[in-house]
Amino acid sequence: TFSKILDSFSSRSDFFYTLKCEEPDKYDVVMNDVTPTEERRKQVDFASPYGVEQFYIFVKENNDSIKGIKDMPGNSVGVTSGSSNETWARKHMTSSEIRAYENGGLLFNDLAIGRVDGVLSSLFGGEKFKKTNNLPIKAVGEPLTYQLSAPVVAKGKDSLRDAISSAIDSMVKDGTVDAYSAKWIGTDYHMTKGIDAALAELAEDK
């Protein structure tokens, strides 16, 4: 089943590089939280998205002056160097001081001790660092942007790509994706609404 395919591939980290560069016939599909981008589409194909991450501004827990992106002008914002977060921040947060970090862990540690005013991060990533390192940080405001996750298929395997897309589309339509989201992430995280919002954002950017 599709869920078994997801389970078997989700824990591997080498698939995307292998599929596009070294051994394109070694794997049929990659499912490793890969975001479909225009640059990647030049090398591989993507099926329908099955997941999405929402990106927020994180601030210190006792910071009540920054409640969202509208409060960021004049403040510093940390991002991971070379990431889509950095690209988005430099495009949309021109009145803030963008500080790019090579080390994601250092990024959140600097936020916790006040060396940077805010951090642009996925909700999952920020909450993970907060919980793992017991950091006094919090997400504020509304989601600023989205990052889709979609299965990767080698070029030329159109029938496989379409079959996977059909399976995912059915799971989205019948509520399976949201049911998994509620079970493993929480009832307050609406996966399919996030996917729709991300697709709408992409359409606006074109």
- Residue 185's DSSP bridge partners are none
Give residue 144's pLDDT.
94
Query: Do the beta carbons of residue 197 and residue 143 sit within 8 Å?
Result: yes
Determine the Cα–Cα distance for residues 190 and 117; give it in Å rounded to an integer.
29
Q: What is the pLDDT of residue 17?
A: 52
Q: For the chain, list residues with pLDDT below 70.
A: 1-25, 206
- Residue showing tokens 């920020």: 126
**C-alpha atoms less than 13 angstroms from C-alpha of 4 in its C-beta half-sphere:** 1
What is the structure's pLDDT at 34? 84
Name the segment(s) of the chain with CATH classification 3.40.190.10: 2-51+148-205, 52-146
Q: What local confidence, expressed as pLDDT, does residue 25 receive?
A: 66
pLDDT at 185: 83
Looking at residue 124, its pLDDT comes to 87
CATH class label, 52-146: alpha beta
In this prediction, residue 108 carries a pLDDT of 95
Q: Which CATH class is domain 2-51+148-205?
A: alpha beta
